[in-house]
Amino acid sequence: MSCTEQELSTQDMLQGHIDLHHHLYGYHKSMALLCATDLGIPGAIHRRGGAATISDIVADTMIPPAKLPHLRRLMRVLSVSGIFAVEEDVYKLTPASRLLVGDKASCNFSPLVHLVVSPAMLTTFSSLSPWFRDGRNASPTALFEMAHGMPPWEMMKRDDTMNSALNDACVADSSFLMEIALRERGDVVFRGLRSLVDVGGGHGGAAMAIAKAFPDIKCSVLDLPHVISQAPDDGTVCFIAGDMFEDIPPADAVLLKHVLHCWDADDCVKILGQCKKAIPARGDGGKVILINPVIGYGVKQDSTLKETQVLADMNMIAIGGAEREEHEFKKIFLDAGFSDYRIMPVLGLMSIIEVYP
């Protein structure tokens, strides 16, 4: 039977043909975004007041004029996919590309592009099929280890460029999300706390934002020694080198932003167990604050949001982690000895989750 000799209409078969090729070529969008970021195209448009012709872009990025026809093709891909907008041959920034041109490093998501579309991650996912077939290694970081011969955290210690990209991406993400979280739910989540420790808080982007908004809260950051050693300590928060699996400093609240998704369920229970030891009872204000996607939560999700959440989950396979649905979070919370939780889907891709002892 030929591929068209089925109980499908011609229109259905042609749509299937389109859908298949859409998936096949999908990675070109990521590579085009990386290329534009490397070339400084978003910044070039930004410096021209948010609108630039193709000739302006060539002049500002020093792309050889001979590449002009190919640059038009690159910009067409990025315009069709929503990174840029184009009107009468003038390219403009969109909300997505504006996130790549922050005047401050803490507001610029370019490091995230370089991290997610890095050679290390591309090499990792090139090993996905053999990893699924390999039944010998069931460790949480097996995929990354299969590709690189070491866990991701070990590579971070050895590769300063990758480590810096991760930390810079975390600072930008923290600054962006915390600004919105503090504006939309700051009084609900943080007011009344006397102390907070940001576990796995990197260079302190989230903790600094909280300390600035609520000066009465004593904010600390706990992270691994090689991370803390490079943290910009300006006295706003206290940086503590340590291991969240061994001990977490006592505080009214523990913040876990993008932490649990790096670990399997058993390790999440261990981390939350240490958090529970660090905080007081619920009646005394104790809680754990998570900032993380909750896949499929809410009845008004659009398809782009849901797809982005499940793609983010796919990305976490690389390091043995996972994005989770509500029922998966609930089981982890109960297994760690917590009694209740509340989900606030106020951060687009992310939600704020309060977990109570």
Contacts of 190 (CB under 8 A, 6+ apart): 182, 196, 210, 213, 214, 217, 253
Beta strands 51-53 and 90-93, pairing class: antiparallel
Beta strands 218-223 and 195-199, pairing class: parallel
Q: What are phi and psi of 198, to 5 degrees?
A: -90, 105
C-alpha to C-alpha distance for 48 and 284, rounded to whole angstroms: 53
Q: What is the DSSP string of 97-147?
A: HHTT--SSGGG--HHHHHHHTSHHHHHHHHTHHHHHH--S---TTHHHHHH
CA distances from 118 to 94, 112, 156, 175, 195 (A): 24, 9, 13, 22, 37
Q: What are phi and psi of 254, to 5 degrees?
A: -115, 130
Contact 302, 296 (CB under 8 A): no
Tokens 């590769």 identify what position? Answer: 159
Tokens 């009468």 identify what position? Answer: 88
What tokens were used for 303?
């398809």
User: Partners of 199 in the beta sheet?
Assistant: 222
Q: Which of 46, 203, 258, 261 is catalytic?
A: 261
Catalytic residue status for 261: yes
CA distances from 221 to 107, 202, 235, 316 (A): 20, 7, 12, 23
What tokens were used for 274?
């240490």
Nearest to 204 by CA among 219, 224, 191: 219
Contacts of 272 (CB under 8 A, 6+ apart): 260, 288, 332, 333, 336, 337, 338, 355
Q: Catalytic amino acids?
A: 261
